[in-house]
Structures are given as C-alpha cells and as structure tokens.
C-alpha cells in the first residue's frame, strides 16, 4: 500500500522507519562496517534518536537532543554503549508497535495433564552452597620380611605386601552451616579395602552397603553465643593426630597410635561451640567405638577442648563409656595433641594417648606417644619424619603384650594441585616376636617396609 504525500506521508514514513529500526535493534541484527557489537548497537541507537527528533519536529513536538559519546579519535561511535532502557520506555514501545509491530499472539493454554516447567526449578536450591570433592588413593608396598600371608603386620590400610593396591576411592558432598544458612550436611562415601577394614568390626554394618558411608550427618547452627553447631549421624573420631582421609596426613602409612590406641568413627550427636577467638568446646554423646548400632545398653560420652593461637594449638579429648559387647564396664580414653608452627617451613606435632578398660583378669592399660616434624622447604616438596612408642602392657589392643616402636621417613612431592605422591621407608620393632616372617630363623622382632603412595584429589 502506498503512503500519502505531504506532511502526513512524511510522518508515516518516519514512523515506519522508526518501528523497523526498533525491531532490528530488538533482534540484535548485525550492521556492517562496524568494529564491535557495542559500536554497532550504539550507531543504531543514534540513528533511532535522530529519527525520533525528525518525527517529533514533523508533528510539531520538541525533543531534547541526546549526546553520543565522542572518543579521543573524534568518532561519535567508538566506545558508545547501548542503554538498557532504549527500547523499554512506554512511548517508544507504543510508537514502534503502532507503526510496524505485528499483533501479539497468545500462547495456547496448557492441556490437562501437561506439566508446567515455566517456573524456576526449586529443587536445585538444595545444592546452593554445596561443595563436591573426593580423592583416589593407591599404593605399592614391600615388606622385607616377605610374610607368607601377604599382609604387613600391625598396619592399617597399607596392608598388602608386594602388590599394587587401590586403597580407597572417596566421594563427598558437604554443605557448611552459617548465619545465613543454618542447616547443613556431610555425606562422604568411600570404596575399597580401607572402607571394608574401618567398618569390619561394626556389628550393625560389617562389610555391607553401610560400610561405604564413611560419614553422613546433618548439621544445624543455633544462634547461641558465637554459634552453636549440632551434628547428628556418623562422623570420624575427634581423637588422634592422623585421619582416614589420606589427603590430610603427613605420612603415607598410618602410625601405631592411629591403628591401635583410638577409634575410627562414632554414631550419635556432637555439639561444638566457639567461646572466643582462640577457644572452642565440644561435647559428644554416641553409641560407642566404631559402631552405628550399639553393642550394649550403655552410651559413650566425650568432651573436647581446643585452644588455637595461630602458631600454637592444643587439643584435649576425653571419652568414657562401655564398649565391649554386652558389658557395662567403662572404657576411658585420654587423647592430647600439640602442634607448633615454627615459621612457614617447619611444623612440630606431638600426640599422646592413654586408654583403660576391664577384662576378666582386671584392668588393661595401653598408652603411647608420637612425634612428627614436617619440613616444607618449597611448595612442591615436604619431608616428614615420625617416631612412635606404644606400650600395650596387657596385650589388650594388639593381642600381644609388648612395647612396640616405629620410625618413618616420608618425602612428599606435590606434582600438581590435584596430584601428590609420597615415598616412604618405615622400621618397626618390638620387645616381643610379633612380626610375621618368611623363615622361622628370621628375626620376628622387627619389620622393614618401603612404599610409594599416589593421591589424586578432585
């Protein structure tokens, strides 16, 4: 259809051009001879503003000129940007739609039984603030005693002699609590012989599916003091200098105290309260040592005191409760940990444990001490010697009445942010013939091993 002539036709033509330009801009059509998307849009905006002014003048209206940025090179387009509201003011939308915009077409209504996915998927809010991670731990170890069973005596996790072994594969999902998010949780799944060993003594789990859940607990932060955190579920023990998670340890093999003086995990409730910048208190009420389902009618209680001044930290733990199946006699455990950082490159750590329980022969005692020095001369290399003494006077822990000692040296190489390898030499000795040997004439009071461990973090 031809447009009229004269003033009215000129107005109609300008309105049509303006509407067409608005649609082009809304569709983000590229313009030639411009260097960037921003400058092209800026040029189009400037043209629209010019057309608006001409249209207003033709209708006898007044329009205020809009300045276009001028660059140092003198170009009115270089460096210009598109204002967010350029096509959203009611007047411009009205003019554009009246001149050239087609009639809006309403979407057909949803038919019965059709799910509506138009809203936000609220289920994803569950993962806000959640951290995912894990690691793979593999090793090769060699026992110079060449044990016929193929197992290294008194070891935890690095059991196998002369074998390439995948020790554990770990996946974890954690949501920490905070003032803005009082609810949290921790789910840590572990697969491999390490998970089987840790849960093998649990009468309620054994080596079933539950053995692969190393930790699973819910957390709630209450506005009490500096923030009281309550946890309920299964969590690793608070005792000791070493942990099941290989990433956090200084040596590759776990020491004697970790293996024989303390528990692995607990199931129950934990309350943690920071009382100052340096002091934190915690209390525990759990089923016992290493069990999800209690093996007697009693419960175990614990207390923890933490002091941390930066370079110096001290942790004192105490736990008491019945632990033997069907028995009511109390087991006591005192665990002390002292850590001192001497600058950025040297850290000292000492751990002491004392335990006591009752047997048919009376009270049984065990105690031990471990010392560590971590030397970190560079970001990619560390060297950690460890020495331990463990007195199992009545043979309650290891099954043999003995004084057991060990020395370990562990060079660690950080190959990347995700890959760490540890080489290790370890010498164990005892005042009893308690180590497995390949020949009866060999010295069964000592054991020498070498290993290499590889930890891949993700």
Does residue 415 have a pLDDT over 80? yes
Q: What is the DSSP string of 125-184?
A: GGGTTEEEEEEEEEEEEEETT--TTSB-TT-SS--BSSEEEEEEEEEEEEE---SS--EE
109 within domain boundaries: no
- pLDDT tens-digit series, residues 204-222: 665 566 778 999 999 999 9
1 is a domain residue? no
pLDDT at 110 over 60: no
pLDDT digits (tens, 9 = 90+) for 114-142: 555 445 555 566 677 899 999 999 999 99
- Give the whole-angstrom CA distance, residue 355 versus residue 351: 13
**Is residue 390 within 8 Å of 257, Cβ to Cβ?**
yes
Q: How many domains does the chain have?
A: 2
**Do 37 and 154 belong to one domain?**
no
Over the stretch 142-154, which tens digit does the pLDDT of each residue have? 999 999 999 999 9
Structure confidence at residue 11 (pLDDT): 55
CATH of the domain at 376: 2.40.160.10
- Say if residues 271 and 279 touch (Cβ distance below 8 Å): no
Q: How many C-beta neighbours within 10 Å does residue 296 have?
A: 18
- 442 plus 371 within the same structural domain: yes
Same-domain pairing of 226 and 270: yes
Mean local confidence (pLDDT), 97-109: 47
225 and 362, same structural domain?
yes
| Helix pair angle (90-99, 6-26), 10° resolution | 110
Do 252 and 317 belong together in one domain?
A: yes
What integer is the mean pLDDT of 403-412?
98
Choice among 47-56, 57-66, 155-164 with the minimum mean pLDDT: 57-66
User: 190: burial class by Cβ within 10 Å (0-12, 13-18, 19+)?
Assistant: buried
Indicate if 89 and 148 belong to the same structural domain. Answer: no
The answer to whether residue 118 sits within a structural domain is no
Q: What are the two backbone dihedrals, phi and then psi, of residue 375, each rounded to the nearest 5 degrees?
A: -105, 120
272 or 103, greater pLDDT: 272
Residues 232, 339, single domain; the answer is: yes
Are 215 and 357 contained in the same domain?
yes
95 and 139 share a domain? Answer: no
Same domain, 91 and 182: no
* pLDDT at position 449 over 50: yes
Q: Could you tell me which residue, 179 or 103, shows the higher pLDDT?
A: 179
| DSSP annotation of 252 | S
* pLDDT tens digits, 55-86: 777 666 544 544 444 444 444 434 333 333 33
pLDDT for 205:
67
What's the chain's average pLDDT? 83
Q: How far apart are CA 124 and CA 6, in angstroms?
A: 61
Tokens representing 119? 């809203």
Q: 83 with 139, same domain?
A: no
Residue whose structure tokens are 């491999």 = 192
Give yes or no: residues 62 and 180 share one domain.
no
Residue 124: inside a domain: no
User: What average pLDDT does this structure show over 238-263?
Assistant: 97
Instruction: Please give the residue range of the domain that contains residue 11.
Output: 6-99
Geometric angle at alpha carbon 418, from 209 and 347, rounded to 5°: 100
In a domain, 106, yes or no: no
- Would residue 353 count as lying in a domain? yes
């Amino acid at each position: 259809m031809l447009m009229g002539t004269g003033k009215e036709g000129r107005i109609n033509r300008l309105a049509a051009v303006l509407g067409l330009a608005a649609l082009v801009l809304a569709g983000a059509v590229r313009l030639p001879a411009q260097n960037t998307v921003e400058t092209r849009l800026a040029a189009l905006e400037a043209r629209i503003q010019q057309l608006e002014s001409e249209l207003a003048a033709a209708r006898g209206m007044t329009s205020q000129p809009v300045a276009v940025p001028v660059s140092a090179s003198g170009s009115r387009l270089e460096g210009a940007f598109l204002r967010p509201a350029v096509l959203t003011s009611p007047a411009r939308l009205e003019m554009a739609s009246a001149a050239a915009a087609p009639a809006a077409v309403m979407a057909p209504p949803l038919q019965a039984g059709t799910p509506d996915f138009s809203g936000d998927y609220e289920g994803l809010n569950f993962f806000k603030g959640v951290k995912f991670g894990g690691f793979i731990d593999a090793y090769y170890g060699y026992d110079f005693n060449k044990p016929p069973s193929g197992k290294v005596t008194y070891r935890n996790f690095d059991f196998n002699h002369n074998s390439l072994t995948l020790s554990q594969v770990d996946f974890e999902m954690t949501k920490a609590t905070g003032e803005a998010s009082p609810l949290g949780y921790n789910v840590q799944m572990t697969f491999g012989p390490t998970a089987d060993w840790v849960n093998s003594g649990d009468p309620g789990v054994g080596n079933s599916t539950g053995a692969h859940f190393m930790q699973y607990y819910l957390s709630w932060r209450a506005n009490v003091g500096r923030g009281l955190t309550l946890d309920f579920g299964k969590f690793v023990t608070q005792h000791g200098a070493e942990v099941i998670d290989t990433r956090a340890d200084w040596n590759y093999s776990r020491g004697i105290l970790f293996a024989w003086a303390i528990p692995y995990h607990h199931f129950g409730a934990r309350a943690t309260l920071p009382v100052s910048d340096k002091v934190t208190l915690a209390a525990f009420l759990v089923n016992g040592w290493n069990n999800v389902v209690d093996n007697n009618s009693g419960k175990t209680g614990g207390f923890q005191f933490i002091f941390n001044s930066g370079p110096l930290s001290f942790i004192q733990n105490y736990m008491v409760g019945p632990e033997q199946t069907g028995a009511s006699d109390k087991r006591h455990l005192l665990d002390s940990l002292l850590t001192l950082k001497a600058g950025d490159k040297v850290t000292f750590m000492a751990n002491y444990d004392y335990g006591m329980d009752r047997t048919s022969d009376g009270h049984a005692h065990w105690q031990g001490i471990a010392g560590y020095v971590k030397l970190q001369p560079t970001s990619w290399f560390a060297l950690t010697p460890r020495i331990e003494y463990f007195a199992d006077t009545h043979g309650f822990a290891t099954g043999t009445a003995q004084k057991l000692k060990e020395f370990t040296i562990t060079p660690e190489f950080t190959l990347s942010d995700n890959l760490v390898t540890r080489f290790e030499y370890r010498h164990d000795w005892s005042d009893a013939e308690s180590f497995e040997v390949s020949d009866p004439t060999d010295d069964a009071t000592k054991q020498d091993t070498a290993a290499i461990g590889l930890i891949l973090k993700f």
